[in-house]
Structure 1
């Protein structure tokens, strides 16, 4: 607790009276609640922004686990019945890792449930997800426009993904003086679709149910509302920003993106304090690019834990992702028998969950190759850390990939990625034949077609280096571990977006000057 208060004090001294105020709104924020990369982004990016004096506060649903993990929780406002059957309070607290302020929308009937954040124990979407996240948006709109909570009113509201997509619409409806809105699309494929007739019950104005509002092929889309009404739309990599303006990747909303003259693409980073093999408490033994003995120990420990043959020289590949069509899990499943048969020393670990047929397929594959393959269905944060530490290779295909964080984690831990040249993967991984292993970071093996043949050819290239040119592999691994994968550069780009949407605010010069100083320091080193 003392460490949290120290962080809170440090953040307070950094904030200035004229600091721009930004409210982050998301359905999940690490470490309070997490199902995927959205939580990691919304946990780490505010820290990078706050570190330069932006007054950042976060708002998310009051899930049971979030209420249990937040520090010094206390009720600071009663919002009454925001929507019929949805009484809500605001619980204030501090993030347990960064000490930043966070508010939880406490509505027990909607958020305190068994199951995951979005699905019940049977894996089905909660039937009232529309209401659940509409309440989050209405609570955020009330906080953002009134200043009644803790006497604080944001200058900019940063809404994340479809769960917060109604917020730009609700603030736009209020008109007059209101916070500016930035809406980040984390994945165009998840659109928050609900029956159109529910719009009124969700507290939306009549025009929300029209083509010029949030209507999308006869349904109500939270994602479209965010894209349509935000002052600025961003997404999570430059390449994906280009892709979503095309029919292939726009998921039916490419016309809307083009009508807005595109989105601003800003590559995600990772929390380099959480994901750091030199300090990671999850690992059998810590290591760094200058002392790799620990990675050897992590590999042996992982092989023992997962029932693989203990062979430090064997190439160990990992796949850590959702087991879905998007992630090309079906392609990997079909290609694995050939790869394992052609390379008798190759080992493979699959970690994730998703389509039941794919889960069963990987489980059966592990049974068919005992000692050489393991399948861990589900998601375990500690195991993900140990996998990146113990693996030599990451297999990470995708039919589309807005950004991807797994390849960044893997490179940080010295696992070389094999990825498809799409979305953020294209921005974050440079093929070794192009980079030559000389550039700092972003080293991997890249393929183009979403096919087993293309994936297999890239794996063959990778294994040829691992097995035939060990010194080159060491150089590639060291290069990958040397990359700058943190949030500072990306946070600077977000700060510039904020400054562009609200240029009249005081404090931007100091914020952006700090980032310029950082850029000069990195260049000098």
Structure 2
């Protein structure tokens, strides 16, 4: 029997210990899925105060001396018996860098930590040293898998060490690029040959993200379509050139979703449970009624047939909120429909939505803020889920919607394009349709898709078939994990 492949995940966050976004979810779910397929996986994180407060037992595995910004750090590598992640967890403990209040990246007052360049350079250096020796842990990974700009220097440091493991680098969001000045570059005593356009130099500064792209053995991003898009100026944030020249090692692998949490048959936030096999129509109808009542709307039974369109998301331009605002009046003036919105974000979008909700009482149901319970209830109770993002590396809500039998209406970008099949006549006939797709980021294009959805909703038989196909999709982590294993085996 061959020995299991050893994979070390290095990241700046992991749910449920510390999470600011989708990155944390992936670092929680993917290692578990890999472990289930026989990989020997460990996760290493910075020892933030927030994490240390949650962990009962720690052992010092060993010490490392690591170069920082004009000073050396004595760093402890901690092993834990923590079970939050479901795989073994290691911590890089540099007290003066990580043992402080606030989030992983921000001061409690909301601005970036002044020493973020040093914090994540030291983290990456420590992980590279640890992964290359095998002395401290008596365990040496075959592959080190880093994530986003915070570990961008990790593949670069590995390339400086003889006998180092190979590296995979995953870009979750290209718009955070870890850019710092030449002064910090010098202060951190990074190799002078890295200061070049072929390495880490980026428009007069240096970028940790770019280091990850240039020095890793494989680059992944979180959907196949996004992998293509980021090689173009419109989506590339200035990295499209370096990504094009490294496209031979770039692959898009879709994120999965947690199908245990997002399960309409068991989720505790839902008033009524349902599944593809069990009362999905009655279940969705009861959840719709409960949702509307929770939002203050008590309807006669025959009024429940009015289609409900849902939107959950940050109220920012990326999410296409401007398109939604432009078409709400046309939808509500010309159709018997309701819209439910949950989210918070830019003040001008919040106030525009508030004004519009006042114009359409009982038809535009607005909740500013975020609630996990309400998110599940909107996914279950809506008839169509609106997701008009201008760009979307992967996107999760469209997959949650499919799982909950709520056909998503999406702009054809990134992970949205990879997960939703348009309800064209042909796709409806051959049983592949799962939602509604528009191709131009314009109000007219989105409105046309909404009107197609509202028209199909009147055709009960077709609509039920659409829901059944949506609910039959499988977006768990198993398939994605297999693709990562394939990728790892190509470089070991």
Q: What is the TM-score of this pair, normalised by structure 2?
A: 0.90
Candidates 267, 276, 287, aligned match of 2:254 = 267
In the TM superposition, 1:403-422 aligns within 5 A as 403-422=394-413
Candidates 315, 319, 335, aligned match of 2:307 = 315
Is 1:202 aligned to residue 188 of structure 2? yes
Deviation for aligned residue 1:375:
3.7
Matched residues in 2 for 1:429 and 1:221: separation? 34
Is 1:153 aligned to residue 140 of structure 2? yes
Q: Give the structure 2 partner of residue 245 of structure 1.
A: 231
Matched residues in 2 for 1:177 and 1:318: separation? 53
C-alpha contact (below 8 Å) 1:437/1:475 kept by paired residues? no
Candidates 43, 53, 60, aligned match of 2:38 = 53
Q: For structure 1, list consecutive stretches of 5 or more residues without a partner in the other structure.
A: 1-15, 503-525
Deviation for aligned residue 1:85:
8.6
Candidates 293, 314, 320, aligned match of 1:304 = 293
Find the residue that maps to 2:410 and give its secondary structure: strand
CA-to-aligned-CA distance 1:196-222 (integer Å, 9 cap, x gap): 321133352222332222111112211
Q: Give the structure 1 partner of residue 267 of structure 2.
A: 280
Q: Which moved more, 1:187-196 or 1:444-453?
A: 187-196
C-alpha contact (below 8 Å) 1:308/1:374 kept by paired residues? no
Deviation for aligned residue 1:117:
3.8
CA-to-aligned-CA distance 1:25-46 (integer Å, 9 cap, x gap): 1222222222222222221111
CA gap of 1:279–1:112, structure 2 versus 1, over 3 A, is farther
Matched residues in 2 for 1:125 and 1:341: separation? 45
Q: Which moved more, 1:279-288 or 1:422-431?
A: 279-288
CA-to-aligned-CA distance 1:70-109 (integer Å, 9 cap, x gap): 5645444444666249664334335645521112334455
Matched residues in 1 for 2:96 and 2:370: separation? 26
C-alpha contact (below 8 Å) 2:101/2:108 kept by paired residues? yes
C-alpha contact (below 8 Å) 2:159/2:215 kept by paired residues? yes
CA gap of 1:307–1:166, structure 2 versus 1, over 3 A, is farther
C-alpha contact (below 8 Å) 1:309/1:372 kept by paired residues? no
In the TM superposition, 1:71-110 aligns within 5 A as 72-79=57-64, 83=68, 84=71, 88-93=75-80, 96=83, 99-107=86-94, 109-110=96-97
Find the residue that maps to 1:402 and give its secondary structure: coil
CA gap of 1:288–1:82, structure 2 versus 1, over 3 A, is farther
C-alpha contact (below 8 Å) 1:69/1:96 kept by paired residues? no
Matched residues in 1 for 2:114 and 2:429: separation? 50
Q: Give the structure 1 partner of residue 447 of structure 2.
A: 456
Matched residues in 2 for 1:130 and 1:367: separation? 46
Candidates 478, 484, 494, aligned match of 2:468 = 478
CA gap of 1:329–1:126, structure 2 versus 1, over 3 A, is farther
Find the residue that maps to 1:436 and give its secondary structure: helix
Find the residue that maps to 2:328 and give its secondary structure: helix
C-alpha contact (below 8 Å) 1:165/1:223 kept by paired residues? yes
Find the residue that maps to 1:183 and give its secondary structure: strand
Deviation for aligned residue 1:257:
1.5
Q: Give the structure 2 partner of residue 348 of structure 1.
A: 340
Q: Which moved more, 1:118-127 or 1:428-437?
A: 118-127
C-alpha contact (below 8 Å) 2:225/2:415 kept by paired residues? yes
CA gap of 1:149–1:161, structure 2 versus 1, over 3 A, is same
Is 1:22 aligned to residue 22 of structure 2? no
Equivalenced residues, count = 483
Matched residues in 1 for 2:188 and 2:323: separation? 40
Q: Which moved more, 1:472-481 or 1:196-205?
A: 196-205
Matched residues in 2 for 1:129 and 1:306: separation? 43
CA gap of 1:130–1:421, structure 2 versus 1, over 3 A, is same
Deviation for aligned residue 1:303:
2.3
CA-to-aligned-CA distance 1:315-344 (integer Å, 9 cap, x gap): 222222232222212222233233233334
Query: Alignment RMSD, CA only?
Result: 2.6
Matched residues in 2 for 1:105 and 1:365: separation? 50
C-alpha contact (below 8 Å) 1:308/1:372 kept by paired residues? no
Deviation for aligned residue 1:68:
4.3
C-alpha contact (below 8 Å) 1:350/1:362 kept by paired residues? no
Matched residues in 2 for 1:86 and 1:392: separation? 56
CA gap of 1:36–1:425, structure 2 versus 1, over 3 A, is same
C-alpha contact (below 8 Å) 2:4/2:38 kept by paired residues? yes
Is 1:487 aligned to residue 456 of structure 2? no
Q: Give the structure 2 partner of residue 141 of structure 1.
A: 128
Find the residue that maps to 1:361 and give its secondary structure: helix
Matched residues in 2 for 1:455 and 1:299: separation? 24
Deviation for aligned residue 1:312:
3.4
CA gap of 1:357–1:193, structure 2 versus 1, over 3 A, is farther
Q: For structure 2, list consecutive stretches of 5 or more residues without a partner in the other structure.
A: none
Matched residues in 1 for 2:357 and 2:107: separation? 28
C-alpha contact (below 8 Å) 1:414/1:480 kept by paired residues? yes
